[in-house]
Amino acid sequence: PTDLSATRPLCYLCLPKHLFLSTMKLALLSVLASTAAAFAPSQNGRAPTDLSATRAVKKEAAPKKAPKAKAVAPDGLVGALPPVGFFDPAGFAAKASDAELARYREVEIMHGRFAQMAFLGFVIPEKCAYDGAFGDDFLAPTGRALEAFNTDPIWLALTLGVLSCLETVRLIETEPGSRTDAKIESIGWRPKSEAEFVNYQVRELQNGRLAMLAVAGEIVQELVNEKPLLVNLQDSGFVSF
C-alpha cells in the first residue's frame, strides 16, 4: 500500500520507544484539554439558557400585592357603622355615579320601610288568628299570614292596590333625590338638630335592613314547617302567651 493512511501506522511503529511514548502523552493531553473546554462556561454574549440561569430567576422575590383599598362612604351618605364600616362587598358604590348611588340609597330606604310594615303584617294578623279575634276561619287552617292568599284574596288585593296607589302618588309628587321624603318630614317629625336628624336616618336605615332580613326569614320558615311565626317563637322558648 502506498496511500497515506496505510503508511501512518508504520511510521508510528518505526519510531523509537521514548519518542512514541512522548507522542502518545501529547495526544492524550490534547484530548483531555478539549474535553475540559467543553464543560467550561461560555464567554460569548449569548443569553444564558442553562439551569443555573433558571434557578436565579426563581430565587427572585415575587412582588407583593398591594393591599385592597378599603371602601369609603361617599360624602353625605350615612350608614357606615362599625364593625363592617361602609359595607359594599359587591362594589356597587365604586362603579356607580353620584346620581346612581343616591338612587340606590333611596331604594334601600323604601324597601326597608315596606319590610317593616310587612313584618307587622305577619305578626298582627297571626296574633289575631291565634286569639280567634276574627273567627275560627281567619287564616285557617294553619293560622299563618301566608294563608291570606287563600282565605282572603279580595282583602289582600285591596291592600296591595292601596299601597300601589300611595307609591304612585309618591313618585309623582317627588323628584329624584328626594323620594324618601314622601311629604312626611314637614309635619313636625324632623328634629331641628342636624346631628340628631343624621341619627334618625341611621336608625331608620338599620331598622329597615333588619326588617328585610326578618321578613325573608319569616317567609322561608313558614314555608318550611307550615307554622305561624308566633308558634315558632313559642316552640323555641323566645316568647310565651
pTM recorded for the entire structure: 0.63
HEC-encoded secondary structure of the chain: CCCHHHHHHHHHHHCCHHHHHHHHHHHHHHHHHHHHHHCCCCCCCCCCCCHHHHHHHHHCCCCCCCCCCCCCCCCCCCCCECCCECCCCCCHHHHCCHHHHHHHHHHHHHHHHHHHHHHHHHHHHHHHHHHCCCCCCCCCCCCCHHHHHHHCHHHHHHHHHHHHHHHHHHHHHCCCCCCCCCCCHHHCCCCCCHHHHHHHHHHHHHHHHHHHHHHHHHHHHHHHHCCCHHHHHHHHCCCCC
pLDDT in tens, the chain (241 residues): 444 444 444 444 454 545 555 655 565 555 555 544 444 554 554 444 554 445 544 555 556 665 555 556 666 677 777 777 777 778 888 888 888 888 888 889 889 999 999 999 888 888 888 888 777 777 778 888 888 888 888 988 998 999 899 889 888 888 877 777 766 666 777 788 888 888 888 898 999 999 999 999 999 998 998 888 888 888 888 777 6
